[in-house]
Amino acid sequence: MALSGFRDFYPDDCAFRNAIFAKWRDVAHRYGFVEYDGPPLEPLDLFTKKSGPEIVGQLYNFKDKGDRDVALRPEMTPTLARLVTARHKDFKKPLKWFSIPQVYRYERPQKGRGREHYQFNCDIIGEASLEADIELIALLIDTLRTFGLTEKDFVIRLSDRVFWSDVMKTYGVPDEQSYEFIQAIDKSEREGKEKFAERLSKITSNTDNLAGQVSATLDFSNDSVKSERLDTVEAGLRARGLGDYIKRDYTVVRGLAYYTGVVFEAFDRTGEFRAIAGGGRYDTLLKNLGNVDLPALGFGMGDMVLGDLLKSRGWFPEKQDDLKVYVVIADEAHRPAAMKLVQEIREFHTVEYSFQPTKVGKQFQLAEERGCQAAVVVDASLANGMVSVKDLVKREQQTVEIKNDGVLLALGAMLLDQLDEDWNEGEDEETP
């Protein structure tokens, strides 16, 4: 058994995981992001420096044999900050970097949340303008769209940390109560109006009706405070045709202390799952961690919630554009020659064959089980330099000469044929 909270990836699970990774990489590349990675094990203080000593309770940390305090990384941002601040002069700004680390935490495993998961991390570093916020949120939207999810499936809730600082200033909420204030906002949706009013009643302010004012803001019925930042970001996303994917929601404040601007979370519309992704701007973190003053923003998306959502929508990995060929050895005397053929075909296609002498009918059955679309039959006619090539999908067969690449040409034509058909099928699907 695997350790509690850790996953095994049998071939089907691994194919599903890798298909998610491939989509993540593809969309990141289309946005001009480049991939980086770091060690799964880091010095413990890399994480406590960012998140405070409280974080240790959730970490998979230990003392190693050299008496170092180390931890399996719970998130990628501290490693990213370490890499960027160490060599920031080597890279032209803005940096657009992504990574797909496996991250760890020592917490009780529950549904949709184990002790490890993979996390797609995308960050833009060295760009203060809101164009970068728009770009990053567009990337998040396109990441989910690339799996076939639409505006009916998910929504990005947008909020603004600075907006709440402004509100606190407007109503004279003192700095030492800002944590309680943000907590009240964070919990307002879950806890309801009454509890919210109770929380705010304990907070000092220059208005008799702080709860009412703030509630009105959350309902968008209060125009006295505004986020021009969010106006700009929303307009930018609408210009890209992405207006249907976003919703302003000031209750999103993101727990983490280090956000400094626009923050956002992606949710499925049914509310069935945890947040799919979250992120925002953290302009002061690199200065605090590595003493390099670079504005930054990013998001993280785990593979578990996304995977559950995709499974609930019946998504499955796309068929590979390749040809699987079964070399049928009908005459064991010709096995050595058959193996030469296997070797040649494998330069271009996947080839299966039977290790053991096996009846021809059984070999065709194995070909089918392995998902082969073509078979090359080696029998007595090999003596005349000929083999049969069968299209197992169309049930057609031809005899070809081995010399002059006859087999490769026949298989190549078969692959083109099949790609054509897949293409046409794809076309049909789009026409309702």
User: Residues 97 to 156: which contact its own copies by CB under 8 A?
Assistant: 97, 102, 104, 106, 116, 127, 129, 131-132, 134-135, 138, 142
Provide the strand spans (E) within 176-237. Answer: none
- Contact criterion met (CB below 8 Å) for 131 and 240: no
- For position 37 contacting its own copies by CB under 8 A, the verdict is yes
Binding residue for its own copies (CB under 8 A) from 242, 367, 402, 408? 242
State whether residue 64 is helix, strand or coil.
coil
Binding residue for its own copies (CB under 8 A) from 311, 313, 340, 394? 340
State whether residue 299 is helix, strand or coil.
strand
Binding residue for its own copies (CB under 8 A) from 191, 322, 332, 422? 322
Q: DSSP readout, 84-132?
A: HHHSGGGSPSSEEEEE--EEE--S--BTTB-SEEEEEEEEEES--SHHH
Which of 272/369 has CB closer to its own copies? 369
Which of 132/203 has CB closer to its own copies? 132
Which of 187/324 has CB closer to its own copies? 324
Nearest distance in Å: CB 38, its own copies = 5
DSSP structural state of residue 114 = -
Nearest distance in Å: CB 326, its own copies = 9
405: left (phi over 0), alpha (psi -120 to 50) or beta: left
Nearest distance in Å: CB 106, its own copies = 5
Considering only 183-191, 268-276, 294-302, 340-348, which stretch makes contact with its own copies by CB under 8 A? Answer: 340-348
The Cα 156–Cα 130 span in angstroms is 17
Token pair belonging to 337: 């020659």
- For position 2 contacting its own copies by CB under 8 A, the verdict is yes
Token pair belonging to 285: 């973190």
Nearest distance in Å: CB 359, its own copies = 16
- For position 355 contacting its own copies by CB under 8 A, the verdict is yes
Contacts of 356 (CB under 8 A, 6+ apart): none
Nearest distance in Å: CB 35, its own copies = 5
Number of residues near its own copies (by CB under 8 A): 80
The Cα 162–Cα 190 span in angstroms is 23
Considering only 153-161, 221-229, 333-341, 415-423, which stretch makes contact with its own copies by CB under 8 A? Answer: 333-341
The residue whose two tokens read 């002069």 is 89
Nearest distance in Å: CB 223, its own copies = 25
Nearest distance in Å: CB 402, its own copies = 14
Considering only 47-55, 199-207, 235-243, 411-419, which stretch makes contact with its own copies by CB under 8 A? Answer: 235-243
Residue type, 256: L
Cα three-residue angle 311-317-318, rounded to 5 degrees = 140
Computed from CA positions of residues 385, 391, 397, 398, in that sequence, does the dihedral angle turn out positive or negative?
Answer: negative
- Contact criterion met (CB below 8 Å) for 405 and 358: no
- For position 403 contacting its own copies by CB under 8 A, the verdict is no
State whether residue 102 is helix, strand or coil.
strand
Nearest distance in Å: CB 355, its own copies = 4
State whether residue 418 is helix, strand or coil.
helix
Site for its own copies in 174-193 (CB under 8 A): none
**Radius of gyration of the chain from its Cα atoms, rounded to whole angstroms:** 29
Which of 198/420 has CB closer to its own copies? 420
Instruction: Fill in the per-residue mask, 275 to 314: x = in contact with its own copies (CB under 8 A), - = not in contact.
Output: ----------------------------------------
Binding residue for its own copies (CB under 8 A) from 161, 229, 281, 349? 349
The Cα 249–Cα 219 span in angstroms is 9
Closest CA relative to residue 389, chosen from 380, 381, 397: 397
- For position 362 contacting its own copies by CB under 8 A, the verdict is no
Q: What does residue 141 show for φ and ψ, rounded to 5 degrees?
A: -60, -45
Which of 36/364 has CB closer to its own copies? 36
Site for its own copies in 369-388 (CB under 8 A): 369-370
- For position 268 contacting its own copies by CB under 8 A, the verdict is no
DSSP structural state of residue 386 = E
Binding residue for its own copies (CB under 8 A) from 89, 92, 111, 403? 92
